[in-house]
C-alpha cells in the first residue's frame, strides 16, 4: 500500500529525475491516453507512446503475440530498457545472457547491449517495455 504522500505526488503528476549534480522535480500534466490512441492495429496490445508526447523522460512500448517463437529482432538502444511481462512466458536474450521470464517478472537491459525476446508459449505473451528516453531510438541488428 502506498503512503499518502506518495499517492499525493502520483495524483498531482509529480515525478523526480536525478541529474548528474542534483535531483529535480518536474510537474507532469495529468492526462488519459486511451488504447485506441496508441495501438498500431485495432484491438491489439501493440503500439507505443513517446515521452515527448506524454511530457516525460520515458517511452512506453506495448507488445503482444500469440505466435510461439515470435518477437522483436535483435537490436540495441542507446539507453536502458525495462521489460515488464504482463502475461505469458518469454525468453529474453540480453547480450550473452538468456533469461526466461513469466508474468510478473521485470527485467532490465543496459544501454547499447543487443537484445531481443520471443514468446515461449503456451498462449499469449504480453509486455510493456519502458524505454528510458523521451524518444524511441533503435538500431536493428537482424
**Which pTM value belongs to this model?**
0.76
What is the pLDDT averaged over residues 86-107? Answer: 97
The model's pLDDT over 60-84, given as tens digits with 9 standing for 90+, comes to 999 999 999 999 999 999 999 999 9
Is the model's pLDDT at 136 over the cut of 70?
Answer: yes
Mean pLDDT of the chain: 82
% pLDDT > 90, the chain? 59
- Could you give the CA distance from residue 27 to residue 11 in angstroms, rounded to a whole number? 11
Confidence band (pLDDT; 50, 70, 90) for 9?
Answer: very low
Is the model's pLDDT at 57 over the cut of 70?
Answer: yes
Is the model's pLDDT at 100 over the cut of 70?
Answer: yes
Residue 1's pLDDT is: 34
Sheet holding 47-49, edge to edge: 47-49, 59-65, 125-131, 81-87, 106-109
Residue 35's pLDDT is: 76
Amino acid at each position: 500500500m502506498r503512503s499518502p504522500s506518495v499517492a499525493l505526488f502520483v495524483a498531482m503528476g509529480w515525478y523526480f529525475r536525478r541529474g548528474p549534480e542534483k535531483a529535480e522535480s518536474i510537474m507532469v500534466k495529468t492526462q488519459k491516453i486511451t488504447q485506441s490512441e496508441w495501438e498500431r492495429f485495432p484491438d491489439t496490445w501493440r503500439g507505443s507512446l513517446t515521452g515527448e508526447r506524454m511530457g516525460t523522460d520515458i517511452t512506453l512500448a506495448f507488445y503482444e503475440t500469440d505466435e510461439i517463437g515470435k518477437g522483436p529482432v535483435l537490436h540495441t538502444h542507446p539507453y536502458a530498457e525495462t521489460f515488464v511481462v504482463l502475461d505469458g512466458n518469454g525468453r529474453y536474450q540480453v547480450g550473452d545472457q538468456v533469461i526466461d521470464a513469466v508474468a510478473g517478472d521485470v527485467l532490465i537491459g543496459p544501454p547499447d547491449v543487443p537484445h531481443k525476446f520471443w514468446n515461449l508459449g503456451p498462449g499469449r505473451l504480453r509486455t510493456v517495455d519502458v524505454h528510458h528516453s523521451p524518444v524511441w531510438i533503435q538500431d536493428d541488428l537482424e
